[in-house]
C-alpha cells in the first residue's frame, strides 16, 4: 500500500499528492502572514516608531492568526481541508492588498495587519487534512512534512525586503495577492479530502467544549506554546532584533532570519519522523532542553557571527524538532475525529505563544537597551516545560 502511494504521490487524490498541495498552500499563506515583520525597520524609520510601537506592529498579525485557528479548526472538521484551504487563500487577499496600501499610516498598518492574521490560520486546516490521509504510525511523518510549510516565514524574510527594494511595497503585495488567488484555485481544483474523512455536522460549541475537556488538549497547548510560539516570535521579531542589537542592514537581517526559519523548517519533519521511531516525548525533551541551553548563550549577548549566529541556528533546530513532535504526540493522544478541533485550540496556543514575546522584547529593549532579560525568561520557561513534560508523559511511548 505504501509503495503504491509512493508511486502515485505526485497525483491529486493520493496521500502524497494532497500532502504536497497542503504544504504548498501552508507555505504561501505563512509568507503572507509574515509580510510585515521583514519590513519592520523600514516602517520604524519611515513612521518614526519607538521599539515598543514596532513590536506591536510586528505582533499584531500573530493575534488573529492564533485565535482564528480555533474556529478554523472546527470548521475544517465540518467542511474539510479542500474547502477551507480555498477559503483562507481567497480571504487573505483582502488584508494583503490593504496592507500594501497602508505603508504611510501606522494606524492603518495595525488595522489591516490584524486581519492579515487570517492567513496564519491555515495551520489548523492542514493538520487534520493530512492526518486523515495517513495511518497512525505515519502521522508523525505527515504532520512533520506539512509543518515544514512554516518555511513560508523564511521565504518572506529573505525575499520580501528584496522584492520591495526592486518593485516597491504596493507591487510586492499585489504579487502576493496574485499568488494567493492562484493557490486558492489550485486547492479547489486539485485537493481532495481523504476517503476516510467524515464531516462532523453537530454544532461547533459542543465540539469545542468536548475538546477543551480533554486533558491532552491543555497539555499539548502548553508544549506547543513554547516551541511554535518561540518559532513565530523569532521569525517575526528577529529582523528587528538583529537591526537593533547587532546593527545589521534590513536585507542582511532578513537573510539571517531566513536562515533561522529554514533551520526550524528542516528540523520539523525530522522531529515528526523521530517521533515515529523513538517516541514524541523523547523528541520534545531534546527540543526543550536544547532551547533552554541556547537561550542562556544568547542572553549573554555574544558576538554576532559566532557564537550568536550558531546559537540562533541551534535554537531554531531545537524549536523545529519540538513543533514536529508535539503534533505526533497529539496524534497518539486524540481520536482522529477530534483532531481538527483540538488542532485549532493547540495551534491557537502556539500562535499566542508567539504573540507576546515580541511585545516583551520591545519593552525590554526600550527599558534596558538590551535583550538579556527576554532570553533569560525564554530559558526559564523552556526548563519548566521540559520538567513538566518528563513527568506528565512518562507513560507515553
Domains of the chain, with CATH numbers?
Answer: 2-392 (1.20.1250.20)
Minimal CA–CA distance to 356: which of 63, 154, 80?
63
Mean pLDDT of all residues in 71-100: 94
Over pLDDT 70: what percentage of the chain?
A: 96
pLDDT at 2: 41
What does the alpha-carbon distance between residue 176 and residue 174 come to, in Å, rounded to a whole number?
A: 5
Cβ atoms of 126 and 22 within 8 Å: the answer is yes
In angstroms and rounded to an integer, the radius of gyration of the C-alpha atoms of the chain is 20
Q: Choose the most confident range, by mean pLDDT, from 51-60, 340-349, 380-389.
A: 380-389
Q: Which residues touch 21 (CB under 8 Å, ≥6 apart)?
A: 12, 186, 187, 190, 191
Quote the DSSP letter at residue 258: H
Could you count the other beta carbons within 10 Å of the beta carbon of residue 213? Answer: 9
What does the alpha-carbon distance between residue 16 and residue 292 come to, in Å, rounded to a whole number?
A: 35
Lowest mean pLDDT among 20-29, 182-191, 252-261, 331-340: 331-340
In this predicted structure, the answer to whether residue 312 has a pLDDT above a threshold of 70 is yes
pLDDT at 397: 67
Alpha helix (H) residue ranges in the chain: 2-7, 15-33, 40-47, 51-67, 69-79, 81-101, 106-116, 123-131, 139-147, 152-167, 169-190, 204-212, 215-245, 250-278, 280-299, 310-333, 339-368, 372-392
What does the alpha-carbon distance between residue 193 and residue 186 come to, in Å, rounded to a whole number?
A: 14
pLDDT at 232: 82
pLDDT at 5: 36
Mean pLDDT of all residues in 93-102: 96
Q: What confidence category does residue 6 fall into, taking pLDDT thresholds of 50, 70 and 90?
A: very low
What does the alpha-carbon distance between residue 273 and residue 266 come to, in Å, rounded to a whole number?
A: 12
Cβ atoms of 260 and 245 within 8 Å: the answer is no
What does the alpha-carbon distance between residue 360 and residue 223 come to, in Å, rounded to a whole number?
A: 20
Mean pLDDT of all residues in 185-212: 89
Amino acid at each position: 500500500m505504501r509503495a503504491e502511494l509512493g508511486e502515485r504521490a505526485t497525483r491529486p487524490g493520493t496521500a502524497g499528492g494532497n500532502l504536497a498541495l497542503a504544504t504548498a498552500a501552508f507555505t504561501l499563506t505563512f509568507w503572507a502572514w509574515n509580510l510585515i515583520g521583514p519590513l519592520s525597520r523600514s516602517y520604524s524609520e519611515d513612521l518614526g516608531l519607538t521599539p515598543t510601537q514596532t513590536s506591536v506592529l510586528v505582533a499584531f498579525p500573530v493575534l488573529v492568526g492564533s485565535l482564528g485557528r480555533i474556529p478554523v479548526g472546527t470548521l475544517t472538521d465540518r467542511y474539510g481541508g479542500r474547502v477551507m484551504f480555498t477559503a483562507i487563500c481567497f480571504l487573505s487577499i483582502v488584508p494583503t492588498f490593504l496592507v500594501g496600501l497602508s505603508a504611510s499610516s501606522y494606524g492603518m498598518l495595525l488595522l489591516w495587519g490584524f486581519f492579515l492574521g487570517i492567513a496564519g490560520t491555515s495551520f489548523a486546516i492542514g493538520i487534520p487534512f493530512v492526518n486523515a490521509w495517513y495511518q497512525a504510525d505515519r502521522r508523525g511523518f505527515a504532520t512533520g512534512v506539512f509543518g515544514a510549510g512554516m518555511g513560508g516565514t523564511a521565504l518572506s524574510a529573505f525575499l520580501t525586503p528584496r522584492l520591495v527594494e526592486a518593485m516597491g511595497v504596493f507591487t510586492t503585495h499585489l504579487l502576493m495577492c496574485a499568488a494567493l488567488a492562484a493557490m486558492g484555485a489550485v486547492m479547489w481544483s486539485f485537493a481532495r479530502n481523504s476517503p476516510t474523512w467524515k464531516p462532523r455536522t453537530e454544532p461547533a460549541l459542543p465540539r469545542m467544549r468536548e475538546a477543551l475537556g480533554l486533558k491532552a488538549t491543555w497539555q499539548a497547548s502548553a508544549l506547543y506554546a513554547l516551541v511554535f510560539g518561540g518559532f513565530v516570535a523569532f521569525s517575526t521579531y528577529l529582523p528587528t532584533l538583529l537591526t537593533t542589537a547587532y546593527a545589521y542592514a534590513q536585507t542582511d537581517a532578513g537573510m539571517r532570519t531566513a536562515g533561522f526559519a529554514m533551520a526550524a523548517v528542516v528540523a520539523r519533519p525530522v522531529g515528526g519522523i523521530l517521533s515515529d521511531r523513538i517516541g514524541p516525548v523523547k523528541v520534545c525533551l531534546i527540543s526543550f532542553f536544547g532551547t533552554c541551553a541556547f537561550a542562556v548563550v544568547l542572553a549573554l549577548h555574544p558576538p554576532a557571527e559566532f557564537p550568536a549566529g550558531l546559537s540562533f541556528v541551534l535554537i531554531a533546530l531545537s524549536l523545529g524538532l519540538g513543533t514536529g513532535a508535539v503534533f505526533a504526540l497529539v496524534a497518539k493522544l486524540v481520536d482522529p475525529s477530534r483532531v481538527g478541533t483540538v488542532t485549532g485550540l493547540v495551534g491557537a496556543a502556539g500562535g499566542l505563544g508567539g504573540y507576546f514575546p515580541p511585545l516583551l522584547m520591545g519593552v525590554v529593549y526600550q527599558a534596558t537597551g538590551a535583550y538579556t532579560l527576554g532570553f533569560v525568561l525564554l530559558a526559564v520557561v523552556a526548563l519548566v516545560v521540559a520538567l513538566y513534560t518528563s513527568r506528565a508523559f512518562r507513560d507515553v511511548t
